[in-house]
Structure 1
Amino acid sequence: MQDPPNLQEGTQVGSMMYHDNDAYSKSMGKERHGRVRGYGLGITPLSLPGHGSSQPIASASTPEDAQELTALRLEVAELRRQREDDAQERAALRAEIAELRPLFENFRRQ
């Protein structure tokens, strides 16, 4: 019978201790720096919840930053309004083209 692994040998990751001789470590191999086991490819400790935000919250640390942030938010709102206006104009032009297309086809046949 095999002796239990020495509790001092192994790798500690967070609150978990991975022993070099246990079945899990033998099947999974050595722990790799910057990776999280069992989550698939590309997952790092920082991408998990509770390890920092993936999208920083916009905040201003100085009055100048606050002013610039407000100006940028207003600019984004204006650009969104312009995009909506452009979409409505395109829809109106498409409808007009749809009305004129049969007239053009009739003119071409003559």
Structure 2
Amino acid sequence: MTWKHAIRATSRRVPAAHASPDPELHEEYAVNVNKIIYKPVGMLVGVLGGLLATAVFNKVWGKVAGGDEAPDATDKHATWGQVLLAATIQGAIFGAVKAAMDRGGAVGYRKVTGEWPDD
């Protein structure tokens, strides 16, 4: 058995210790092994996405502000416009990178296991 087949075999729903023999209650007490296996993968993808988003934001902000660092919201020397522009750009970049990384991680997981992480 290859590791792909082993992961596929363990990614099916398995009954919990106290599962009822009643088929309707079986789903309620089932443990989704697929979600448990994907959890560390999702965390790693999230960390890598955060690092990537930070690098992209710093590069973009450097172009927008001429090499200055992005202002913090509490920076007394920054204007409202600078703070809000930095927050808007940062939010857009982090949102897009997070969505791309989450989707890419889920697609990659499906390619390896044959299962979607939330199924």
Aligning the two structures, in what range does the TM-score lie when normalised by the shorter sequence? 0.3 to 0.5
Instruction: Indicate the structure with greater helix content.
Output: 2
Q: Which has the higher contact order (CA 8 A, sep 6+)?
A: 2
TM-score with structure 2 setting the length: 0.31
